[in-house]
Amino acid sequence: MKNITEAPFMVEMIRTTTNMYAHGWDERNGGNISLLLEEAESCEYLAGAEPLRSLPTGFTAPELDGKVFLVTGTGKYFKNVQYAPEVNLGIVRLEEGGAVARLLWGFADGGQFTSEFPAHMMSHAARLKANPQNRVVMHCHPSNLLAMTYVHDLDERAFTRTLWQMCTECIVVFPDGVGVLPWMPCGTNEIGAATARKMETVRLVVWPQHGIYGVGRDLDEAFGLIETAEKGAEIYMKIAHLPLLNTLSDEHLHQLEKRFNLKVREGYLS
């Protein structure tokens, strides 16, 4: 088999975790990523690999049975992934209806997948139904989005509209809007299920006073989705206390909708 640390998906995961840490989105061991691997891209690195050990997942997801994921580890720092990927990352295959994850590679120090693994898998299941191309779930703690949840109405429509009005690119990048949960304890099946329900219709879900979940076809798309929302939140936090002389009106947003042939979330524009 080929050296798995040289696999394109592994190289990109290492680059992404390093970049996210550099952005300040994943302090300490905060944040996590899971990438659904396609059989064609992983078989030459994993063909014939025997499970190293079995890990209970604490949930079931029959629709993900047999699927293989590259995932960050619990308690691991994103800044260390580039130096020891085999310790900080793992590749698992879900079996027994998702109740068990067979470790195929990684977590070499005896670790296991992120504590948010149930939330990731539930979101994967929801997004695969909505868009079979969505293979990445990304969770992080961008500072401006967090700050915004302390001072802004958490109504989804209001939150989305504010981000859309902050810069032209926001409505272009996430015309489906942003989902917002009430505050909930993290690392539970309850918050995972609530996030997955939002993921049926949106690709970004805000966890107030905590962080955000984003999904995409690949690591670049998921990263760019969060990056754009974070830029909108940064602008908002810089100007929220100032009198606005100009803004993006609904007329402007409708022009963007037409210009880029967007499917904007129904009822969010007047």
* 6, amino acid identity: E
Rounded CA-CA distance 18/34 in Å is 15
Q: Which of 204, 202, 198, 175 is nearest to 268 (CA)?
A: 175
- Alpha helices (H) along 50-207: 85-88, 117-130, 143-151, 156-166, 168-173, 189-199
What are phi and psi for residue 192, nearest 5 degrees? -65, -45
Residues with catalytic function: 116
CB-CB contact of 253 with 170 (8 Å): no
Q: Which of 192, 175, 70, 182 is nearest to 121 (CA)?
A: 192
Q: Which of 227, 239, 182 is nearest to 206 (CA)?
A: 182
Structure tokens, 34: 């899971």
129 DSSP assignment: H
Give the 3-state secondary structure of residue 146.
Answer: helix
Q: Which of 36, 45, 43, 35 is nearest to 2 (CA)?
A: 45
221 DSSP assignment: H
Rounded CA-CA distance 270/253 in Å is 10
**Cα angle vertex 82, ends 12, 137, to 5°?**
45
